Amino acid sequence: MADKKNTTEASEDLDAFEYEEEAELTREDISRLREKLHAERESVKARIERHMAEAMADTDNLPDEMDIATRQSEQAYILRLADKEKKLLREIDHALGKFERGSYGVCEGTGDPIGLKRLELRPWTRYSIEYKEQLEREKGRHR
């Protein structure tokens, strides 16, 4: 009898957890996530500026062709990093725009709420975990 009660309690706990993940965001959640996005935006912008400054560093004073080739390879790598940061900045800006449209925290694929834990880990996400997994499976099938 105790086992059945524990199983019922565990099931209720699981239901509460699932409900919490699907529950709408509170004003406090939204405010905290918006602040987190703004802070991340500033951090990304600073990294982009740093990458661009590194990439544009003077190469005229390098002594030989090997040093020049190494520096050019480093520059290409740094520019790829900056490009990734720019893509992240676009995602963050898109997420911030969703606050204005009132659609922040809603999966762009299904229209269902995105879980708070996912938003806390990746506040610029566009999709719920379930939909993102579906996209990944479909992508894997097309390869």
The string of pLDDT tens digits covering residues 12-59 is 443 433 434 456 889 999 999 999 999 999 999 999 999 999 888 776
Please determine, for residue 142, whether its predicted confidence score (pLDDT) is greater than 50: yes
Q: What is the pTM of this model?
A: 0.76
**Are 116 and 71 contained in the same domain?**
no
**Are 42 and 79 contained in the same domain?**
yes
**Are 31 and 21 contained in the same domain?**
no
Alpha carbons 127 and 118: distance in angstroms, whole number? 9
What pLDDT is stored for residue 4 in this prediction? 46
Alpha carbons 21 and 65: distance in angstroms, whole number? 57
Cβ neighbours, 10 Å, residue 21: 15
**Are 114 and 141 contained in the same domain?**
yes
Q: Which domain holds residue 57?
A: 27-102
**CB-count burial class (<10 Å; 0-12, 13-18, 19+) for 119:** buried
Please determine, for residue 1, whether its predicted confidence score (pLDDT) is greater than 90: no
**Are 89 and 44 contained in the same domain?**
yes
**Are 21 and 31 contained in the same domain?**
no
Q: How confident is the model at residue 86 (pLDDT cuts 50, 70, 90)?
A: very high
Sign (positive or negative) of CA dihedral 112, 129, 20, 18: positive
**Are 20 and 32 contained in the same domain?**
no
Query: What is the tally of structural domains in the chain?
Result: 2
**Are 34 and 89 contained in the same domain?**
yes
Residue-wise pLDDT for 122-138, tens only, equals 999 999 999 999 999 99
Question: Which is more confidently placed, 71 or 122?
Answer: 122
**Are 51 and 93 contained in the same domain?**
yes
**Are 32 and 62 contained in the same domain?**
yes
Single-letter amino acid, residue 90: R
